[in-house]
Structures are given as structure tokens and as C-alpha cells.
Amino acid sequence: MSIAITANFVNTNSLEERKVQEIPGLSKQYDLEFFKNLENKTGIKLENIVYYKDLTHYFVMTAKKDSLIKKGVIKNCSEDRDNLLSPNNVDRNALETYAIEAASFSTNHFSQELPKTPLAEWKGQKDVSIFDFTNLYTSQNACRVQERRGYKLLLGLVGDSLMEPFWPEGTGIGRGFLSVFDTAWLVKRFIEEPSDKVYEVIREREKLYSLLRQTTDSSLKANFKKWTINPVSRYPTTSFNFNQDRIYQLYDTDVEDDQTDGVQLRKKGHKKTSKSWTGRMEEDWDVENKRETVFIAD
């Protein structure tokens, strides 16, 4: 079971606070001595810890279940996994003490101990949280189109609903914003393109989603000030293998069999050498007011 704790401390921007150095990321497998000392001196057992300083002093850490039980954070260890971290089974005072001890020890170890600043307030209580992140969920697709009685409805997912992040990597907020930009681009394409190009619009969105799942900050274009909803401004123009057969399942229409048969024919008759919508768009770059695209068809 993977258990995370986050804590925000008030940052008064005092001279003592400014002397405390951030901890960009410590992992037990690489800093074993530090984590052993932490456990021996405080009874706190962590797998990793991160500290960032901004409007608040923000700490995030992965805690071991047995140390949470010994420190009194978890009241009843016999609870099943779904209820183990429920509010009724967590001692808030013990949780706050746990986070404060971890923050003090880690900052003191690497630079200077964080001054005794209080925990920030959030929704009427101290801003410290504990949660289970053992299971992560990812959507199979980023969008879907439903058509009924001649009207099309575009559906799309963004943020954590699209792809839950592995939070220690720090990629959640970045990929979340990228997914919003990609979906805004999808809406623009959906509105602008002719009705017979629905599959091509879906195809581009799903290909961007495949790219997003493997995107890191180092694989994006560096000049972020020029980023727009246009994927060209953010992702390097890349051609890669993409299983596009599944896009035919993402257009749900009530049109009778002649349309359905047409879909099947398009699916079976797809030729890798033919130009898709995105490929044709690149050819028409200068002709059609420099309309932009991202990927050349496989």
C-alpha cells in the first residue's frame, strides 16, 4: 500500500526561512543513510520526501504504514484498505506532528531546520493530508463523439480524469494543463472541419493522447512562452507508430446501416500510403491560410 502525506506550512518569508534550502527529491534507494537516521531518531519511516518553497513551505512524502501505526496516526490497523485512511480512522493531531517532525528533521539534515512556522489553514483545518495512491487509473481514450438525430456531441476528458499521475514524479499539473490545451485544440478542429472528417479529428486527438502519456518536460519545446492550444507550439513534430483501429469505436452514431457499413469499409480499406486529414493539411499549409497540423499520417 502506498500512502502519501502532504503538508503546507505558513511562509512568512523571514530571513531564517529564506536560508532553508529546498529538497527537490530524496528517495530511500539512493539516500539510504538519511532515511535510516530519520527512522532511528524519530520513528518516522519514509520512502521519499520533497520540499518546495513558494507561497508556503510545501512538503510531500511517502510514509510506511507500520510507522504511521506506531506514531498513532492510524488508529485501527485492522480496518480494510478502503477504510484504513478514512477520516474517522486518522488522528489529525498525530498526523500534524508526524508531518512537522519529518519537515524539521529533513531540512535540518540538508541545510537549516525550518523555523517553527504553523501549518497553513485550508477549509477550516490545518493543511495536512493523507491519502492512498496505490492504484492509478488511465482512460483508454481521450475523446468520443455521439451522434443522434443529426446532432453531434463531442465528449473529452482532461486532467486527472484522463490520466492520474504518479505524484512523486511531479508530472500531474504539467500533463493536466497539456491535456486541457489538447482538448481545446480538439474542440477547435471539431467545429472547423467538415462533418465527414470526424474520424480524422478523433484520430489526431488520440494520437496526441498517446504522445502525452510519454511526455516529460525535456521532450517539450523549450520556449513555453510561445505555447498555444496548437500542439505544434508545444510538442516536437514527430511521426510514430499508432494503432488507429480503435478510433472507429469512438464515433457512436444512430445513422442506419449504410453509414455503419461505410465505417467498416473505411476501416478495412485503410492504406498506410494514403494521406490522412493531417497529412493533407500539411500539404495545404500555404494554400489554406497556413492552417496548422501536428502529425503526418503513418
Give a three-class secondary structure readout of 110-158: HCCCCCCCCECEECCEECEEEEECCCCCECCCCEEEEEECCEEEEEECC
Percentage, residues of the chain above pLDDT 90: 56
* pLDDT tens sequence across 86-116: 999 999 999 999 999 999 999 999 999 999 8
Q: The sheet that has 151-156: what strands, in order across it?
A: 151-156, 143-148, 251-253
φ/ψ of residue 240, rounded to 5: -145, 165
- Confidence band for 237, pLDDT divided at 50, 70 and 90: low
On whether the pTM is more than 0.75, the answer is no
Three-state SS for 239?
coil
* pLDDT tens sequence across 112-169: 999 989 999 988 899 999 988 777 788 999 999 999 998 999 999 999 899 887 766 6
- Confidence band for 186, pLDDT divided at 50, 70 and 90: very high
Is the pLDDT score of 292 beyond 80?
A: no
What mean pLDDT comes out for the span 269-280? 37
pLDDT of residue 106: 95
Asked if 107 contacts 122 with a C-beta cutoff of 8 angstroms, the reply is no
Q: What CA–CA distances, in Å, run from 211 to 166, 258, 294? A: 17, 34, 11
pLDDT of residue 295: 43
Asked if 286 contacts 268 with a C-beta cutoff of 8 angstroms, the reply is no
Asked if 39 contacts 63 with a C-beta cutoff of 8 angstroms, the reply is no
Cα separation, 168 vs 178, in Å, equals: 19
* pLDDT tens sequence across 39-86: 999 999 999 999 999 999 999 999 999 999 999 999 988 777 778 899
What does the domain layout of the chain look like in residue ranges? 3-132, 143-283
Is the pLDDT score of 271 beyond 50?
A: no
Cα separation, 48 vs 27, in Å, equals: 4
pLDDT of residue 20: 95
Closest by Cα among 298, 266, 262 to 279: 298
Range name among 34-43, 218-227, 228-237, 249-258 with the lowest pLDDT average: 249-258
Cross-strand bridge partners of residue 226: none
Is the pLDDT score of 36 beyond 90?
A: yes
Is the pLDDT score of 272 beyond 70?
A: no
Longest dimension (CA), the chain: 74
Asked if 127 contacts 8 with a C-beta cutoff of 8 angstroms, the reply is yes
- In the chain, the amino acid numbered 76 is N
- Confidence band for 266, pLDDT divided at 50, 70 and 90: very low
Cα separation, 190 vs 56, in Å, equals: 41
